[in-house]
Structure 1
Amino acid sequence: MPGVQRPAAPARPRTRMVLNAFLYGVGHHTSGWRHPDSAVERVGEIAYLEELAQLAERGGLDAVFLADGQSVNHEYAAGIPWMLEPITALTAMARATRHIGLVSTVSSTFSTPFTAARLLASLDHISGGRVGMNVVTSMFDAEAQNHDMPELPPHAERYARAEEFLAATSALWASWDADAIVADRASGRFLDPAKIRPVGHAGAHFRVAGPLSVPRSPQGRPVIFQAGSSATGRAFAARHAEAIYSVSWDRGQALAYAGDLRERIGQAGRDPGAVGILPGLVTYVGRTRAEALEKKRALDAHLDVPAALAQLTMFTGVEYSAHGLDEPVAPLPPADTFSGPQGRYLTVQRIIETAEPTLRELLGFLAAGGGHATMIGSAEEVADEMEAWFRAGACDGFNLMCPSFPDGLEDVVELVVPILVERGLFRADYEPGETLRERLTPA
C-alpha cells in the first residue's frame, strides 16, 4: 500500500546481535513474584521501569519493549495485570535514558491511526529518534468488550484492518517534510504549507483527512516490529516489519522459522537480511551451571502446582495429577491425535523430546516463557549457545525475557554481554546521536 512499502537498501551481512529486553512485571516467570526477594511491591511504579531501562542501557542493549493488554482477568488472583499504558510509561523512560530504544505495543484493532501516529511521533521527538511500534491485532474478547465490541473481529478482518492501519499511520508520518518548519522571523512565516500535505485516506476501516498535527520526527516514522506466527501474521511481518519477535523452543525450530520468514520477505520484494528476527529468550545465568540451576529451582519452588498441572492437561489432553513431580515425562503421541490447539501441543511435545524434563522441570519451563527458548548455565555457556544460534542463521539476536527483574537482567548485562562484546558479537558502546533504526541496520 502507498506509504507502507519502502525499498530497502541491500543489507550488509549482520556481524553483531540485536539484544532487546522485554520488560514485564518482576520477570517472565509467572510465579516468580512470590519469591521473597522479588520486587513485586514496586510493580506499577514508573521509577521501577525507569531503573530497568537504565540497567538495560548500561549493558548497551538496543531497546526495551513493553507489551500491552487491555483487559483484566479478575478471576485469576495470581496474575499480575498490565499496570501502565505503554506509550505513557515509555515517555517517562525516555527522559530517564539517553540511548536505548523504546518499543511499544500498539493494537491496530483498538487504536485509530491519527491518535497512534500522533503519540508515537511525539515520543520519537521526545526521545530523539528511539521509538519502535510493535503492531498487534490483539487476542482476547475481553479486550474487545472494553472497546465497544462484543467480541474480537475474525482473524482475517483483524489483519485487513492492520494493513489499513499501517498504511494510514505511515501516510500521516510522511505528511510533513523534514524542512516544513521555516521559523522565519523576518517574513513572519513559521510553516511552509507546501511541505505539509493532507492524507485523504478513505478505506474500509478508517477515514483520515490529515495532515498529522506533529512535525516530522527524527526517524520519520517508528521502527516497525511485528510478531507473526500464523500464516497471515507471517505474511504481514514479511511485507512490513523491520524486526520480528518470534517464538522458538530450540535452534531447529528457530532455523525453520527464520528460513520461512526470510523467504517470505524476499518474495515481498524486500531484502531478507535487513529484517531482524528476534526469538524470545529466557535465561538463567550463574557463575557456574549449578548456580544457574539453583536460580531456576528457587523460582519454580513457588509454582502453583495444581493450577500448572491443570493448564498442562488443557494443553496436551493428558492427565498429570497422579504423575510424580520429579519423574521424567513420557513423550506425547502424534499431534494429530489431539483435538485442541495444535501450536501449544507441538511446543510442549518439542520441550519433552529435546529437554527430557521431569514434570516439575516441564512446568517450570512453561511458567517462564511458555515455550520460548530457555538457556541455563554459566555466562560462558549461555553466550556459547546464543552465538551458536546467531552464527547458524537461526536469529539476528534475541528478545530477552528474563525470568526475574532486576536480577535476571543484571546477570545478562554484567556477565553475558561482556563476553559477547569480547567475541565481537555485540557492540561495546552506543554511537552518539544514533536513531533506533540506524542502530538496527545490519552491521
Structure 2
Amino acid sequence: MSNQRKHLKLGVFLAGTGHHVASWRHPNAQADGSINLSYFQQLAQTAERGKLDMLFLADSLSISQKSHPNILARFEPFTLLTSLANVTSKIGLAATASTTYSEPFHIARQFASLDHISQGRTGWNVVTSSIEATASNFSKDEHLEHSSRYKRAEEFVDVVKGLWDSWEDSALIRNKDTGEFFAKEQLHTLNHKGEFFNVRGPLNVPRPPQGHPVIIQAGSSEPGQHLAAKTAEIIFTAQNNLKDAQNFYKSVKDKALLYGRDPNEISIMPGIFPVIADTMEQAKVKYEELQDLILPSIGLSILSEYLGGIDLTHYSLDSKFEDLQIEHINGVKSRYELVKKLAESNNLTLRELYKSVAGSRGHHIFIGTPQQLVDKLEEWFINKGADGFNIMPPLLPEGLDLFVDQVVPILQQRGLFRKEYEGHTLRDHLGLQKPVNRYNN
C-alpha cells in the first residue's frame, strides 16, 4: 500500500533467550544466546524474512548479581549491530545509548558510522539511564536527579543532530584531477555552548545516509513524554490495556502539536509479550510453564528495581502493595506507576505481582492464538491506542519464529502490514522524510 500510515509498524525487541526472566531455563532455549553471534544473526534474518520494520537492542551500564540473566552477560549494541548489518539488507537496526553517561560527540559518531555501514538503517533509542548504581561506574558519587536527566537529554539530542549536520550531503567531492577533496563551504562547525555541553565540532563522519538516524524514546513520565513529543519519531511504551494506551497515545500526540510537530510523524509502539499456540488452552500451558521457572528470589529482585530498590525480602509473599509503604523513587517513575496500578487494580499479592512483572517486565501480556493476537493488534491500531508494536517474544527463537510464520501472514491478509519492503532505509519503512540539513535552511 502506498499510504504507509495504514500499515502497522512492527519491531522486534531482541533479548538473549527471550523476554521472560526465566526463558534461559526453558528446554528449548539456547542458554548462551545473549553472547552467541550466529544465534543473533539467525534472529535478525528471521525478522527480516518477516518484513519487520526493525530489530531493537536495549542496553544498560550497570549490573548486579540480581540482574536479569539476559543483562548480566551480553554484547555491546554497536558492535553487535555492525555484525548484523552485514547479514541483513533491509531491516532497521536500533540501539540504546545513554544521554546521562555518554558524550554527544561519541554518540553522534557511532550512530553516523553505523548508518553508513548499514546503508541507512539505524535508529537511536534515547535513554537517560534509570539505575542509580550506574553512577559508580562513571566516577560519580550519585545519579543525576530525574528532571535534570531529562534536561540534559534534550540538549544532548540537539547537539547530536547538529553534529550529524556538520557535512552537507554533497560536501565530499573527492576530485582527483583538481585535488579538491571537499567543498569547504559545505563543512560546518557547530560551536554549541549550553547548560550541560560545550561542543565545537564538526563531526569526523560524513552526514548519515538518513540525514539523521531515526530517534526513538521510551519515557512515559511527564518529562519523558515531553522529550519524546519534542524529539522522537518512535516512542516505545508499556501499556497494559487499550484505555491506558489510548490516553498515552492522545497525550503524546497532543504534546507533539505544542512543539509544532505533525503527530503523524511520531509512531507510538507499545511493547507486547505474546505467548502464542494453536489453542488458548495450549498457550496458557506454555505461559505457566515459563512462570513456574521463576525463582522467587529473582522475581522479587526484579520487582524491587521497579519499586525504587526497596528490600522486599522482609515481606511475606502474601503482602499487598499498600503494605510496602513506598514514599519516593529516583528511577523509572512511569514503570513504578504502572506496577502500582497493576497491583492495586487487581488486588495482587507480592507473589502474584512479581510473577506478573518478572515475566514481562510490565508490558502487555497476550496469551492466545495467532488469530486472536492479530485481533488484539488490529483493535489497538484502529482505535488509536498504537501505531504499531514492539514485539517482545517471551522465548527465543521460538517466539519470533511463530510470530513471523503465523502472525505476519494474517496481518498481511488483512492489509495491515506490508508484503514486501518498499524502500531501503528505516525512514523509508516508517514513512519518514529525510531531515533537511539545518545549514540548508
Normalising by structure 1, what TM-score? 0.88
Show the 5 A alignment for 1:275-294.
275-294=266-285
Report if the CA contact (8 A) 1:255-1:393 is conserved: yes
The structure 2 residue matched to 1:271, chosen from 255, 262, 265, is: 262
Q: Does 1:71 align with 2:62?
A: yes
Label 1:378 to 1:359 Cα distance change in 2 as closer, same or farther (>3 A): farther
Deviates further, 13-22 or 306-315:
306-315
Please give the secondary structure, in 2, of the residue aligned with 1:259: helix
Identity over aligned pairs, percent? 39
Mapped partners of 1:213, 1:40: distance in 2? 40
How far off is 1:37 after superposition? Answer: 2.0
Mapped partners of 2:68, 2:425: distance in 1? 41
Mapped partners of 1:358, 1:141: distance in 2? 27
User: What residue is the counterpart of 1:385 in the other structure?
Assistant: 376
What per-residue deviation string (whole Å, max 9, x for no partner) do you get for residues 281-311 of structure 1? 1000111112211211221121113553676
RMSD: 2.8
Q: Does 1:168 align with 2:159?
A: yes
User: What residue is the counterpart of 1:236 in the other structure?
Assistant: 227
How far off is 1:360 after superposition? Answer: 7.1
Mapped partners of 1:246, 1:205: distance in 2? 27
User: What residue is the counterpart of 2:317 in the other structure?
Assistant: 321
User: What residue is the counterpart of 2:36 in the other structure?
Assistant: 45
Label 1:354 to 1:383 Cα distance change in 2 as closer, same or farther (>3 A): farther
Mapped partners of 1:310, 1:135: distance in 2? 25
Label 1:173 to 1:373 Cα distance change in 2 as closer, same or farther (>3 A): same
Q: Does 1:252 align with 2:243?
A: yes
Report if the CA contact (8 A) 1:289-1:378 is conserved: yes
Report if the CA contact (8 A) 1:283-1:375 is conserved: yes
Q: Does 1:367 align with 2:363?
A: no
How far off is 1:375 after superposition? Answer: 1.1
Q: Does 1:438 align with 2:428?
A: yes
User: What residue is the counterpart of 1:401 in the other structure?
Assistant: 392
Mapped partners of 2:300, 2:141: distance in 1? 31
How far off is 1:53 after superposition? Answer: 1.0
What per-residue deviation string (whole Å, max 9, x for no partner) do you get for residues 115-142 of structure 1? 1111111110110100000111111232
How far off is 1:111 after superposition? Answer: 1.2
Report if the CA contact (8 A) 1:293-1:376 is conserved: yes
The structure 1 residue matched to 2:169, chosen from 164, 173, 178, is: 178
* Structure 1 unaligned blocks of 5 or more: 1-10, 324-329
Counterpart residue identity of residue 440, structure 1: L
How far off is 1:42 after superposition? Answer: 3.2
User: What residue is the counterpart of 1:144 in the other structure?
Assistant: 135
Report if the CA contact (8 A) 1:121-1:217 is conserved: yes
Mapped partners of 2:334, 2:207: distance in 1? 41
Mapped partners of 1:86, 1:175: distance in 2? 25
Count of aligned pairs: 424
Q: Does 1:96 align with 2:92?
A: no
How far off is 1:41 after superposition? Answer: 2.4
Label 1:369 to 1:151 Cα distance change in 2 as closer, same or farther (>3 A): same
What per-residue deviation string (whole Å, max 9, x for no partner) do you get for residues 217-276 of structure 1? 210111000012111111111111011001101111101110111111111111112100
User: What residue is the counterpart of 1:422 in the other structure?
Assistant: 413
User: What residue is the counterpart of 2:25 in the other structure?
Assistant: 34
Please give the secondary structure, in 2, of the residue aligned with 1:290: helix
Please give the secondary structure, in 2, of the residue aligned with 1:277: strand
Report if the CA contact (8 A) 2:191-2:201 is conserved: yes
User: What residue is the counterpart of 1:217 in the other structure?
Assistant: 208
Counterpart residue identity of residue 115, structure 1: H
Please give the secondary structure, in 1, of the residue aligned with 2:235: strand
Deviates further, 375-384 or 194-203:
194-203
Counterpart residue identity of residue 177, structure 1: E
Counterpart residue identity of residue 62, structure 1: D
What per-residue deviation string (whole Å, max 9, x for no partner) do you get for residues 16-66 of structure 1? 100011111211111121112211123212222221111111111100111
User: What residue is the counterpart of 1:6 in the other structure?
Assistant: none
Deviates further, 352-361 or 184-193:
352-361
Please give the secondary structure, in 1, of the residue aligned with 2:170: coil
Report if the CA contact (8 A) 1:102-1:132 is conserved: yes
Report if the CA contact (8 A) 2:4-2:431 is conserved: no
User: What residue is the counterpart of 1:202 in the other structure?
Assistant: 193
What per-residue deviation string (whole Å, max 9, x for no partner) do you get for residues 316-337 of structure 1? 99955358xxxxxx9x7799x8
Counterpart residue identity of residue 25, structure 2: R
Q: Does 1:16 align with 2:7?
A: yes
Report if the CA contact (8 A) 1:68-1:82 is conserved: no
User: What residue is the counterpart of 2:436 in the other structure?
Assistant: none
Mapped partners of 2:343, 2:73: distance in 1? 31
Mapped partners of 1:77, 1:164: distance in 2? 31
Mapped partners of 2:371, 2:345: distance in 1? 21
Deviates further, 56-65 or 39-48:
39-48
User: What residue is the counterpart of 2:287 in the other structure?
Assistant: 296
Label 1:80 to 1:107 Cα distance change in 2 as closer, same or farther (>3 A): closer
The structure 1 residue matched to 2:367, chosen from 354, 370, 376, is: 376
Normalising by structure 2, what TM-score? 0.88
Please give the secondary structure, in 2, of the residue aligned with 1:389: helix
Label 1:334 to 1:391 Cα distance change in 2 as closer, same or farther (>3 A): farther
What per-residue deviation string (whole Å, max 9, x for no partner) do you get for residues 331-387 of structure 1? x7799x864668556534654687798987654432222221111111001110111
